Amino acid sequence: MSYLGNEETLVELPAIQYLQDKLGYRFIHGDLLTPEKGERDSYTEVILVNRLEKALKRINPWMNIDSINKTIRYLTRPENLGASLLEINEKIYDAMVNLNYALEQAVGGSRQKKFHTVKFIDWDNIDNNEFIVTRQFKVQGPSEKIIPDIVIFINGIPVVVIECKSPFLEKSKNENMGKYEAFTQLRRYMNLRNSDILEGAPRLFYTNFFTCILNKYHGYIGTISSGYGHYLEWKDPFPFTKNQIDDVENNGQNILLQGVLEKNNLIDLMRNFILFEADEDSGTRIKKSADISSLEQ
């Protein structure tokens, strides 16, 4: 399809550029975040283990090598935490945000072991974390390899996955076609489209906080349990107003990039604006994110 090339040139690359130039992310192409480059053990792994190890040492100076290795295994072998993507995701969220992960270790020359809380992210000192944006990050799933457009890592942990769609796709068909295709692609990546068929690579989403859709003019945000109608347009580029965002008329997606992925905003949203609760209609447990889609500036 002729519009596919525009996803890269009109949506994906400008988003990467904004994240680098305006928001201070380090860009590393997915071709360099590979087992061959020593970044992860295999293509089925999604944690950048060396970067996580360095972050754990930096944020938790009390940790010895055994504790660090146990913590890394906790994130790289999480399947025993639950029977579904959502269950595993909530357990990891609880460990990372609510600090409900502790290890027993003797500290400071003492022979007596005590439990100490492990911090995966420094929530109070933003600059003590490593923020990486990548594109074309390959992950091997049970039966196929997926290559999401953009992935955000904090301390080697993938926390945001973004799908990009050409704005021409919407103009040539209907207003929501691009958004819908991105939504179904994200669902396939999570193996949520067909429960009877092993699709995608759900491991990429065990540590996920947000999933986003960009199409140059708009940016939508959701979570791993969001239905299509729950992916809402982000309209608040806090702490700026819309008219302060560069070329906002031609690149409305910058509002989401600024409002959600600015480092302080992202840390705040991850820490304070996610909720796991029972859905009122179905009674099943779901994950919700902040809804400020109705805000206008």
| Residue 128 maps to a domain | yes
Domain end among 71, 88, 117: 117
Same domain for 23 and 170? yes
| Residue 296 maps to a domain | no
Q: Is the pLDDT of residue 250 over 60?
A: yes
Same domain for 262 and 155? yes
| Residue 294 maps to a domain | no
Same domain for 159 and 14? yes
Q: Is the pLDDT of residue 37 over 90?
A: yes
Q: Please, what sign has the CA dihedral across residues 230, 268, 200, 219?
A: positive
Other beta carbons within 10 angstroms of residue 187's beta carbon come to 19
Helix ranges restricted to H, 77-176: 85-97, 167-172
222/160 Cα distance (integer angstroms): 10
Same domain for 193 and 150? yes
Q: Is the pLDDT of residue 289 over 90?
A: no
Strand, helix or coil for residue 55: helix
Q: Give the pLDDT band (50/70/90) at residue 169.
A: low
User: Any bridge partners for residue 2, and if so which?
Assistant: none
What pLDDT was estimated at residue 194?
52
The closest alpha carbon to 102, from 87, 92, 120, 115, belongs to 115
Token reading at 104:
């027993």
CATH number of the domain at 221, please: 3.90.1570.50
Same domain for 106 and 29? no
What pLDDT was estimated at residue 106?
87
Domain end among 94, 117, 140: 117
| Residue 34 maps to a domain | yes
72/62 Cα distance (integer angstroms): 16
Domain count, the chain: 2
Same domain for 143 and 107? no
| Residue 239 maps to a domain | yes
| Residue 13 maps to a domain | yes
What pLDDT was estimated at residue 290?
63
Q: Is the pLDDT of residue 267 over 80?
A: yes
Same domain for 213 and 279? yes
More confident residue, 227 or 132: 132
Same domain for 198 and 60? no
151 in Cβ contact with 161 (< 8 Å): yes
More confident residue, 7 or 110: 7
* Residues of the domain holding 207: 4-46+124-289
Domain end among 117, 140, 160: 117
Other beta carbons within 10 angstroms of residue 177's beta carbon come to 15
The closest alpha carbon to 290, from 255, 248, 259, belongs to 259
Q: What is the mean pLDDT of residues 215-240?
A: 92
Same domain for 253 and 172? yes
Same domain for 190 and 240? yes
| Residue 38 maps to a domain | yes
- pLDDT tens across 125-136, in order? 999 999 999 999
37 in Cβ contact with 134 (< 8 Å): no
- Look up residue 206 and give its amino acid: Y
Same domain for 259 and 233? yes
- pLDDT tens across 180-215, in order? 999 999 999 998 655 555 678 999 999 999 999 999
- Look up residue 48 and give its amino acid: L
286/279 Cα distance (integer angstroms): 6
User: Any bridge partners for residue 220, and if so which?
Assistant: 213, 233
Same domain for 147 and 249? yes
| Residue 297 maps to a domain | no
Please enumerate in sequence order all residues whose Cβ is within 8 A of that of 124, keeping only pairs 6 or more positions apart, or say none. none
